[in-house]
Amino acid sequence: MIRHTLTSLNSIAAIGADTIIDVRAPSEFAEDHVPEAVNLPVLSDAERSRVGTIYTRQSAFLARKTGAALVAANAARHLQGPLAQMGGDWQPLIYCWRGGQRSGAFATILDQVGWRVHLIEDGYRSYRRQVNKMLYDTPLPHRIMLVDGGTGTAKTALLHHLRGEGAQILDLEGLAGHRGSLFGALDVAQPSQKMFETRLAAALRSLDPTRLTWVEGESSKVGARVIPPVVWAAMHRAPRIEVSAPVGARAAFLSTAYADLTQDTDALIALIDQLRGYHPAEVIADWQALARADNWQALAAQLMIHHYDPRYTKSQARAAEKPQQVVLGDLTADTLAQTARDLIARFN
């Protein structure tokens, strides 16, 4: 077996293993894991809890004995299942929480089979320290340009058109699984904060710091996920463009971009109800009536004019530098694609 100490996030790729195996319990893996890792737990969540209970209530020896039996049984299932087709030249990279008994036991079994087994010294904790260093301690080296603008100005769509035209982007909403407002939740649950940071670190590593990276302007949180301080500080320092468009064009765009909300009127009405702390009851009732009448563009326009635009204007008044304006007559795909080309020619 070969043990590796991570000195950077790129070290995992440099090791040259064929498969990264996380042997932690499924709940640990679900919260966060090394990118591209597969979960082959040597103890299930229930088994891990059982071993821990034996350790605290009975003895360490009995806990190790019970754990060893469970690890052996689970390793056998993995060998007869997902690993059955692996050839003799296959090289796995194995890790657990701290590079201890779980990864060591599984690595020993695979080593005895004859595979060249790699281990991450200090396990997942080693990887997590590197993520924290990148996102919490070290200034971001990337050149950033913010794409700003009020709600409904197609910022995310423009970001994707920029990528389609060859620009470099960082899609925070995509990484966080949320569109960034009260109405921005998607059908899938957001990743944990740690998983969001893992995705963010991986995305940043894939970018060339010498090239301009386009990032959508956000608040400090995307849904329930907090943008780490190093990235947030870089966004604050970055120059920005501000996209604007007529309210009618923005309402039409939102009615399409948020079409999923129109499929469940009761859920949308419940979301509007959460705005009661900001607006009179009669205004809330009017918005809910528009939702019941399927008048989506009128509802979108009212929400922008009376809720989102005033808040955006207030937040922008505190900005140190004024943005460069990008005024669009409509927000069609053709217009956004041409705008992306113009921005690349202008700034890259």
Q: Is 207 left (phi over 0), alpha (psi -120 to 50) or beta?
A: beta
Contact partners, residue 118, CB within 8 Å, separation at least 6: 1, 2, 3, 4, 15, 17, 91, 92, 93, 94
CA distances from 56 to 49, 51, 53, 63 (A): 11, 9, 5, 9
The two three-digit tokens of residue 305, written as one number? 């004019």
Question: Closest by alpha carbon to 214, among 151, 157, 263, 273?
Answer: 157
**313 membership: H or E segment, kind and range:** helix 309-317
Phi/psi of residue 95, each to 5°? -150, 155
Q: Which residue in the list 12, 37, 96, 158 is annotated as catalytic? A: 96
b/e per residue 79-104 (b: at least 16 CB within 10 A): eeeebeebeeebbbbbbbbebebbbb
Q: Residue 144 corresponds to which amino acid?
A: I
Contact partners, residue 14, CB within 8 Å, separation at least 6: none
> How many residues belong to the chain?
348
Residue 38 annotated in active site: no
Catalytic residues: 96
